[in-house]
Amino acid sequence: MLKIRAGAIQMAIFISVIVALLLFTFIVLIHTHKKFGADSHFNLETIKNADKGIAFALSNKTVTRDTVFVDLKDQDFKSLKVCHNFWGVFETVSSTATIKSKRFAKIALIGTKQSESDRTALYVKDNKKPLVLVGNTRIQGVAFLPKRGVKTGNISGQSYYGERLIYGSAKASNSFPLLSSEILQNLNAFKTLLNTIASDKILNLNKKRKHQNSFFEPTKYFVSNTDIELSNLQLVGNIMIVSNTKIILNPSSNLKDVILIAPEIEIMSNVSGTFQAIATKEINVGKNCRLNYPSALVLDYNIVSKNPSAVKKENPVVYIKEKTEINGAVVFLGNIKLNDTKTQVILEEGAIIRGEIYCAQNLELKGQVYGTVFTSNFIANQSGSIYQNHIYNGIIIIDQLPEEYAGLNFEDGKKGVLKWLY
């Protein structure tokens, strides 16, 4: 009779257990690998679907604050929703994609892009006066001009020194380009903002000097019925500073993507940051400031003129001093008397705008605009005299603005992403 030693039996059992463990580990590894692959696939698909939501919003001209569900034409466990909103003079779009338990959200600041070819450098409203160029003025790009065209002029013995009047094609101006009606409505809503802010959304800037708020969260506010001076502060994100009188921004403060709202806003010399300043009476920007893209200075005089109880400023103005650079938009909205020779936007010599100036009234351009100017009329104040529809030493060059630039929202404009929010 064959006898098997106990040690051999133990060894066989041990080997069997090892083989079973290896097989079990292999099965678990295959299962984990498949699950990881499925999760990775769902993660990538969720991100791609969120991108589809942004693309849907860019191609859809209908703007609504309501949430829109996008049909993915796919399984029921996949969903995509898009929500439009506004942040100052720009639009925001949030896209949220869900696949089972996977969720991914993106939010973008949206503006209008020009076509890559024949970009507009200048649009002057036809007020039955020719555009007059004097000194070292240069306009480069497509120019929409009054029917009486463009000509050279002379101010205090200075004539026009360019070889050509327009360094690009000239076209007749027709209807003045209009900003998005939804954006204008959003600006108009700011006049009652101070009285509608819930107490749980108000920041205490005296207690804490640094604040950051995501654009996925409700907006936070700092409000006052009196003047606000922002000094030694760091404010980032979805934050609005609202005063019923005046805001003064000190260079010791660092602002990123926030909005300032007040009748008068003073930006002191040497300020740097990225923000929107929205006023109803005056915006005064000091020397050597640098406002990064996408910043905006907006004076909406319509809000005052429509409010009978508001005190109207004799000459509402956006004043930008020398050696200041603004990357974004400068906007004046409002109706002044047509024969008014006062200036509503002043760009001093040495000041630079990389983006757009949109002036519904009178613009004095002594600095450089690397982008586009839309204006009803130019003013040149020289030697104690006022020259209507004259540009004296002003520079407008569209070619030095990147083709990817997206800015102010115009009616029926092609939408593009200014920046991704957080």
Comparing 298-312, 330-344, 364-378, which segment has the lowest mean pLDDT? 298-312
| Residue 195: per-residue pLDDT | 75
Q: What DSSP string describes 239-284? A: EEEEESSEEEE-TT-EEEEEEEE-SEEEE-TT-EEEEEEEESSEEE
Contact 171, 287 (CB under 8 A): no
| Residue 76: per-residue pLDDT | 80
Give 23-47 pLDDT, tens digit per residue: 777 777 676 656 655 556 668 899 9
pLDDT band at residue 315 under the 50/70/90 scheme? confident
Could you give the C-alpha distances from 379 to 144, 200, 391, in angstroms and in order?
Answer: 18, 47, 7
**How many CB atoms neighbour CB 98 within 10 A?**
17
CA dihedral sign of residues 82, 84, 87, 91: positive
Contact 136, 163 (CB under 8 A): no
DSSP 24: H
Average pLDDT score over residue span 338-355: 91
What is the rounded CA–CA span in Å between residue 363 and residue 252?
A: 31
Give 111-127 pLDDT, tens digit per residue: 999 988 889 999 999 99
| Residue 33: per-residue pLDDT | 58
Comparing CA positions, the residue from 336, 382, 380, 376 lying closest to residue 357 is: 376
Strand partners of residue 284:
266, 319
Token pair recorded at residue 390: 């004259």
State which amino acid sits at residue 265.
Answer: I
| Residue 323: per-residue pLDDT | 97
Query: Radius of gyration over alpha carbons of the chain, in Å?
Result: 29
What pTM value is reported for the model? 0.88
DSSP 335: -
| Residue 26: per-residue pLDDT | 73
Contact 275, 293 (CB under 8 A): no
- Helix, strand and coil content of the chain, in percent to the nearest 5, comes to 20, 45, 40
Give 144-164 pLDDT, tens digit per residue: 999 999 999 999 999 999 999
| Residue 197: per-residue pLDDT | 87
Give me the phi and psi of 170, to 5 degrees please.
-115, 135
Token pair recorded at residue 9: 């039996």
SS3 353: strand
Average pLDDT score over residue span 396-408: 96
Residue 64 confidence (pLDDT) above 90: no
Contact 209, 231 (CB under 8 A): no
DSSP 401: S
Residue 4 Cα to chain centre, angstroms: 85
Could you give the C-alpha distances from 207 to 251, 253, 321, in angstroms and in order?
Answer: 20, 16, 34
pLDDT band at residue 379 under the 50/70/90 scheme? very high
| Residue 18: per-residue pLDDT | 83
Percent of the chain with pLDDT over 90: 72
Average pLDDT score over residue span 392-396: 98
Token pair recorded at residue 205: 């800037």
User: H or E element: which one contains 305?
Assistant: helix 302-305
| Residue 343: per-residue pLDDT | 95
Average pLDDT score over residue span 6-25: 75
| Residue 337: per-residue pLDDT | 66
What is the rounded CA–CA span in Å between residue 67 and residue 227?
A: 37
State which amino acid sits at residue 223.
Answer: V
Give 162-191 pLDDT, tens digit per residue: 999 999 999 999 999 999 999 999 999 987
Residue 62 confidence (pLDDT) above 90: no
Higher pLDDT, 191 or 291: 291
| Residue 252: per-residue pLDDT | 98
| Residue 2: per-residue pLDDT | 53
pLDDT band at residue 416 under the 50/70/90 scheme? very high
User: H or E element: which one contains 330?
Assistant: strand 325-333
Percent of the chain with pLDDT over 70: 90
Residue that the structure tokens 């660092």 belong to: 254
List alpha helices for 166-253, DSSP H. 181-188
Give 228-277 pLDDT, tens digit per residue: 999 999 999 999 999 999 999 999 999 999 999 999 999 999 999 999 99
Could you give the count of Cα atoms lying within 13 Å of 54 in the half-sphere of its Cβ? 21
pLDDT band at residue 278 under the 50/70/90 scheme? very high
| Residue 20: per-residue pLDDT | 78
Contact 348, 325 (CB under 8 A): no
Strand partners of residue 124:
375
**Mean pLDDT score across all residues of the chain:** 90
Comparing 301-315, 333-347, 394-408, which segment has the lowest mean pLDDT? 301-315
pLDDT band at residue 15 under the 50/70/90 scheme? confident
| Residue 310: per-residue pLDDT | 54
Average pLDDT score over residue span 289-317: 79
Residue 207 confidence (pLDDT) above 60: yes
| Residue 225: per-residue pLDDT | 92
| Residue 169: per-residue pLDDT | 97
